[in-house]
Amino acid sequence: QVQLVESGGGLVQPGGSLRLSCAASGFIFSNSVMSWYRQAPGKERELVAGISSDGGSTNYADSVKGRFTISRDNAKNTVYLQMNSLKPEDTAVYYCKARYYSGGDSSDDWGQGTQVTVSS
């Protein structure tokens, strides 16, 4: 079955950095589009960053451009989110999402989330 396991969240001071990881299994990772989303208390879940199956194309929310970098290692079935210059408004639960393809159909799956708290 599909599993997405996020790690790397925690408490960090403003201006600090964290790197989130999402380890995937149960589908052909190299044929998937991976994304990071986040949801802050009282707010809707929003797209943070996405990356194509070969890593050649990425996209970012305006609020994180220049501070966050999404990457992937298809040999390790893992997608990363490097977060620099963190701000209190980056505080949220961060979720990994996979869109994978099989037999011409696509499916979406989510990880359980990892908490990121930016506070002094």
- 99 CB contacts (<8 Å, ≥6 apart)? 32, 33, 34, 35, 106, 107, 108
How are beta strands 114-118 and 10-12 bridged, if at all?
Answer: parallel
Note the pLDDT of residue 49: 98
pLDDT in tens, 39-72: 999 999 999 999 999 999 999 999 999 999 999 9
Q: Distance between CA 117 and CA 14 in Å, rounded? A: 9
- Average pLDDT over the chain reads 97
Q: How far is CA 57 from CA 54, 90, 94, in A?
A: 8, 23, 21
- 31 CB contacts (<8 Å, ≥6 apart)? 53, 100, 101
Residue with tokens 């908490």: 115
Q: Distance between CA 24 and CA 4 in Å, rounded? A: 5
